[in-house]
Amino acid sequence: MQLILKNIARHISLTADEEAYFLSILHPKKIKRKHFFLQEGEINRQTAFVLSGTLRAYTIDENGFEHILQFAPPDWWIADMYSFIAEKPGNLNIEAIEDTEVLTIQKKDLEQLYITVPKFERFFRIITEKSLVAMRQRLIDNLSLTAKKRYQKFCQQYPSLINSLPQKQIAAYIGVTPEFLSKMLKEKN
């Protein structure tokens, strides 16, 4: 529980009452490796904060290829934002790549939280702004960098993941086939 309070304290400060109220709406949940927090076609009714383990969010395109949009190691928030705000079925899968513990907040509870403690509007505004900046940069990188450079950037950005992830998933994140990533890695050095 300390982890999520510290996460929030990076942008807003809470009174003891507000903190207690916030903690009261959190639901702990465990997701086993290879199990899903959310599957394509479902409505994402809760947002998640990762305490331990790691989740990944991905889509499957019409040719059956996976494209990974986000890894969520501890201290990260994750949801299918489209589905969560529209309350419609989404096309994201959110899966545990190892046994994972999260805290979830139901959409209804979050809406009430916004009303009761408006500071949380600020908190989520700020982290959404940061996500947008990161997503924008990733789009730019995909438009302007070669696969080799995108791989290098990935290594810098997620040094902790690089050794625990199958290459296949790194390929699905940087936007190349596993075969091509394998070839690239042989060429280097």
Query: Which string of x and - marks every residue 72-111 that binds a copy of itself (by CB under 8 A)?
Result: ---------xx--x--------------------------
Residue 26, φ and ψ in degrees, nearest 5: -80, 140
Tell whether residue 175 is a contact of DNA (CB under 7 A).
yes
Residue 177 contact partner, candidates a copy of itself, DNA, none, CB within 5 to 8 A by sort of partner: DNA
Residue 3, φ and ψ in degrees, nearest 5: -60, -45
The distance from CA 130 to its chain's CA centroid, rounded to whole angstroms, is: 13
Residue 64 Rama label (left phi>0; alpha psi -120 to 50; beta): left
Instruction: Report the alpha-carbon distance of residue 92 to residue 55 in Å, rounded.
Output: 12
Which tokens go with 53? 């383990």
Footprint on this chain of a copy of itself (rule: CB under 8 A) = 59, 61-63, 65, 67, 69, 81-82, 85, 114, 118, 121-122, 124-126, 128-133, 135-140, 142-145, 175
Footprint on this chain of DNA (rule: CB under 7 A) = 33-34, 63, 65, 146-148, 166-168, 175-183, 185-186
